[in-house]
């Protein structure tokens, strides 16, 4: 059913032979749109001069070589044996042993099916054979477009080409000669990205060779390859060659009416002269309507604000791929890497439409001197060129972005900055929505604004530019967030970063696993209002007043290790020590000082097995003798020397209050 036959060389003389010829040619050379009705001989065995073609029946496509991996745009492909061009079958013999007599390329071309008459007629009218002979006395290669390909034109570049060829006779010879290569090129000798000289003033035609097999000239697929003739070689194309030499990428970007917005991006990114001279490149050009899908303010910011120049360049480069990748090749690939370093997934649908990431290719194969252009209907933003809003959404913080809308911060995140957003994950927010972050809270604009602005720090900070214990000012008036950088984790206040370093053009997004609540109390106040710390608080008020002052007013950040009443009671049964501490002011002062660390200890994010030595004030003694406090995190339990820390803590404006289960002595 899907097998088909035979080609051969053309024979001029014998009329009988011509009839046979035509029938066979029709069968074999059906090309891109195969005529499936004709009867044909099936070649079942491989043999001499049998070539393999590949068909995609569902799309009526046929390729002159087998080059896909068995599917094309979700459809299975079928291999088909046929006689290689210039050979034919003979009764009772294997393979295609009969060699057709050699003829000139143009006379041979007249017998091809589907027809290539149109080109041949124009060629004769303009005496192409004489012109060729005039320029060139050796063998050459003719790239011959099928008739049905002449109706394809719909974009400006090729329109211009057709207008010139059809209307202005003056151009014809040059454009005809552009279809003539200056030597005999067998498809086996063509390589991807070759530029072949034509007889038209040495203008070149670009070769694409997909999977080392399927040959395209200026992105035009071939339907038959390697028809030998006495004076040269013929390859049949689905349509006339676009005159790539007329334009560069820059010319099309600057002149095509659908690309004026993209042109201004390329211009402001200072890349226009680059896309004029560099190549070959593939440009996935977002049309004006594609770019209008972006928020206007974002587009303005990234275009005109010099602070975002790098992001703009990344954005433009994300629409460029190195090499000339024709539509047919992209249809068969699964991804390409852009010059901005991003991998873009490619997906060809059953109807042979191509999606690049989230966008669709709406026009393809505008071939120019230094590459090829495909139009797309949605810009391809690298994370680096997205706004904080887009990046946060992608990183799993959609609900937080919804909150920024209610609190009036949304527009800032779209187009201003730079900011570092510590965005609570969607999960973190939904966990809280049933408790304090309920409907009443959301109705209170002041409270909501306080909360949201607390998650947005000023400046652009990646984890690798931050240092342990950095404090970042936030958009919330006077609000500061404290960052801990550990070997493998990062925390901000008590939020553990679960998806960090998402770069946007105007900052970074770090997704955290908690909603961060601005602390309200100082350590001293927290000590006073926490119910189960009354006894410890009594000790502190009896002790060193300078310490109390620090807890009440100092900037810190400190870590206060407080002992709950229950544990104080247990410990007070050791009457001797208790008595000594209560009645010896020096010992009391020192004891309390052991409980105060000049450090911000965040129990979350600690790695199993980690241990650190800390020097609290109470253990620094004269003459250099210092006895550190050993902080160990083991089996999920944090401890300081022999005192274990409970999992609760109170974040305070000047530090953190941890609960330990016993007194630490100096």
Query: Which residues inside 141-200 make contact with ligand NAG, applying CB under 6 A?
Result: none
258 near ligand NAG (CB under 6 A): no
470/187 Cα distance (integer angstroms) = 64
Q: Are strands 419-424 and 507-512 parallel, antiparallel or unpaired?
A: parallel
Residue ranges in 204-308 assigned as alpha helix (H):
249-255, 260-268, 272-277, 288-291, 296-304
512 dihedral zone (left: phi>0; alpha: psi -120 to 50; beta)? beta
Cβ 300 vs Cβ 415: under 8 Å: yes
273 near ligand NAG (CB under 6 A): no
For residues 114 and 543, which CB has a smaller minimum distance to ligand NAG in the complex? Answer: 543
| Cis ω for the linkage preceding 321 (within 30 of 0) | no
Least distance in angstroms from the C-beta of 350 to ligand NAG: 10
Longest dimension (CA), the chain: 128
586 near ligand NAG (CB under 6 A): yes
662 near ligand NAG (CB under 6 A): no
For residues 358 and 468, which CB has a smaller minimum distance to ligand NAG in the complex? Answer: 358
DSSP 81-95: EEEPTTEE--TT-SS
Contacts of 625 (CB under 8 A, 6+ apart): none
Among 224, 238, 359, 522, binds ligand NAG (CB under 6 A): 359
447 near ligand NAG (CB under 6 A): yes
Q: Choose among 416, 419, 460: nearest CA to 297.
A: 416
- From the list 163-171, 211-219, 354-362, 623-631, the region that binds ligand NAG by CB under 6 A is 354-362
585 near ligand NAG (CB under 6 A): yes
Among 67, 217, 558, 659, binds ligand NAG (CB under 6 A): 659
For residues 211 and 532, which CB has a smaller minimum distance to ligand NAG in the complex? Answer: 532
Contacts of 517 (CB under 8 A, 6+ apart): 451, 454, 651
- From the list 118-126, 177-185, 300-308, 583-591, the region that binds ligand NAG by CB under 6 A is 583-591
68 near ligand NAG (CB under 6 A): no
55 near ligand NAG (CB under 6 A): no
For residues 216 and 348, which CB has a smaller minimum distance to ligand NAG in the complex? Answer: 348
Binning the chain into helix, strand and coil, the percentages to the nearest 5 are: 35, 25, 40
Whole-number CA gyration radius for the chain: 38
Least distance in angstroms from the C-beta of 543 to ligand NAG: 6
Q: Per residue in 508-523, is it b (16+ CB within 10 Å) or e — as a string?
A: bbbbbbbbbbbbebbb
For residues 290 and 395, which CB has a smaller minimum distance to ligand NAG in the complex? Answer: 290
Torsion from C-alpha of 589, 593, 596, 597, nearest 10 degrees = 160
360 near ligand NAG (CB under 6 A): yes
Among 14, 486, 545, 613, binds ligand NAG (CB under 6 A): 545
377 near ligand NAG (CB under 6 A): yes
526/537 Cα distance (integer angstroms) = 10
| Cis ω for the linkage preceding 56 (within 30 of 0) | no
**Residue 205, strand partner residues:** 196
446 near ligand NAG (CB under 6 A): yes
Phi, psi of 142 (to 5 degrees): -105, 130
DSSP conformation class of 628: P
Per-residue x/- track, 547-576, ligand NAG (CB under 6 A) = -----------------x-x----------
Among 117, 130, 201, 648, binds ligand NAG (CB under 6 A): 648
For residues 310 and 566, which CB has a smaller minimum distance to ligand NAG in the complex? Answer: 566
For residues 230 and 353, which CB has a smaller minimum distance to ligand NAG in the complex? Answer: 353
Least distance in angstroms from the C-beta of 57 to ligand NAG: 8
Per-residue x/- track, 307-346, ligand NAG (CB under 6 A) = ----------------------------------------
Footprint on this chain of ligand NAG (rule: CB under 6 A): 59-60, 355, 359-360, 377-378, 444, 446-447, 530, 532, 543-546, 564, 566, 585-586, 589, 646, 648, 659
């Amino acid at each position: 059913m899907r097998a088909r036959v035979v080609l051969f060389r053309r024979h001029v003389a014998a009329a009988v032979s011509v009839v046979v010829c035509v029938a066979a040619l029709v069968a074999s050379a059906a090309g891109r749109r195969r005529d499936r009705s004709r009867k044909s001989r099936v070649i079942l065995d491989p043999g001499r001069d049998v070539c393999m073609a590949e068909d995609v029946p569902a799309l009526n496509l046929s390729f002159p070589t087998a080059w896909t991996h068995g599917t094309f745009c979700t459809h299975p492909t079928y291999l088909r044996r046929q006689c290689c061009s210039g050979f034919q079958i003979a009764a009772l013999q294997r393979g295609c042993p009969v060699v057709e007599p050699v003829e000139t390329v143009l006379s041979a071309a007249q017998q091809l099916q589907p027809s290539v008459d149109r080109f041949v007629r124009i060629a004769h009218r303009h005496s192409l054979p004489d012109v060729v002979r005039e320029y060139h006395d050796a063998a050459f290669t003719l790239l011959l477009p099928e008739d049905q390909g002449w109706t394809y034109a719909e974009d400006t570049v090729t329109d211009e080409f057709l207008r010139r060829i059809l209307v202005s006779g003056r151009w014809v010879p040059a454009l005809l000669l552009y279809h003539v290569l200056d030597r005999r090129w067998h498809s086996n000798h063509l390589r991807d990205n070759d530029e072949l000289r034509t007889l038209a003033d040495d203008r070149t035609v670009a070769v694409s060779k997909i999977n080392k097999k399927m040959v395209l000239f200026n992105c035009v697929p071939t339907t038959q390859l390697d028809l030998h003739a006495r004076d040269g070689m013929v390859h049949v194309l689905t349509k006339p060659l676009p005159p790539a030499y007329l334009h560069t990428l820059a010319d099309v970007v600057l002149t095509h009416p659908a690309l004026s917005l993209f042109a201004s991006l390329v211009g402001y990114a200072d890349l226009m002269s680059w896309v004029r001279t560099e190549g070959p490149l593939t440009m996935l050009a977002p049309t004006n309507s594609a770019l209008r899908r972006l928020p206007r303010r974002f587009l303005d910011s990234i275009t005109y604000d010099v602070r975002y120049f790098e992001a703009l360049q990344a954005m433009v480069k994300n629409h460029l791929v190195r090499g000339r990748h024709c539509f047919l090749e992209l249809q068969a690939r699964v991804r390409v890497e852009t010059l901005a370093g991003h991998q873009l997934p490619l997906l060809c649908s059953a109807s042979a439409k191509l999606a690049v990431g989230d966008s669709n290719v709406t026009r393809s194969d505008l071939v120019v001197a230094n590459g090829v252009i495909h139009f797309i209907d949605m810009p391809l933003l690298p994370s680096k060129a997205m706004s904080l809003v887009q990046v946060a959404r992608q990183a799993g913080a959609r609900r937080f972005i919804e909150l920024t809308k209610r609190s009036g911060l949304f527009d800032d995140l779209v187009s201003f900055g730079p900011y570092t957003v510590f965005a609570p994950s969607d999960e973190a927010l939904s966990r809280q929505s049933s408790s304090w972050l309920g409907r009443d809270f959301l109705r209170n604009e002041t409270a909501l604004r306080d909360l949201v602005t607390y998650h947005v720090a000023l400046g652009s900070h990646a984890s690798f530019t931050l240092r342990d214990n950095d404090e970042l000012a936030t958009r919330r008036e006077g609000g500061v967030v404290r960052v801990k950088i550990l070997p493998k984790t990062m925390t901000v206040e008590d939020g553990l970063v679960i998806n960090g370093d998402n770069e946007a053009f105007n900052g970074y997004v770090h997704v955290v696993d908690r909603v961060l609540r601005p602390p309200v109390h100082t350590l001293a106040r927290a000590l006073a209002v926490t119910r189960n710390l009354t006894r410890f608080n009594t000790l502190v008020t009896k002790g060193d007043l300078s310490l109390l002052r620090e807890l009440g007013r100092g900037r810190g950040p400190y870590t206060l290790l407080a002992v709950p009443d229950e544990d104080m009671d247990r410990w007070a049964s050791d009457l001797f020590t208790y008595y000594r501490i209560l009645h010896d002011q020096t010992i009391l002062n020192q004891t309390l000082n052991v409980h105060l660390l000049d450090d911000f200890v965040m129990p979350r994010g600690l790695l199993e097995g980690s241990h650190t030595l800390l020097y609290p004030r109470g253990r620094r003694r004269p003459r250099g003798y210092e006895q550190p406090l050993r902080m160990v995190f083991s089996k999920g339990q944090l401890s300081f020397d022999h005192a274990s820390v409970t999992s609760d803590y109170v974040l305070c404006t000047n530090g953190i209050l941890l609960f330990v289960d016993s007194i630490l002595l100096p």
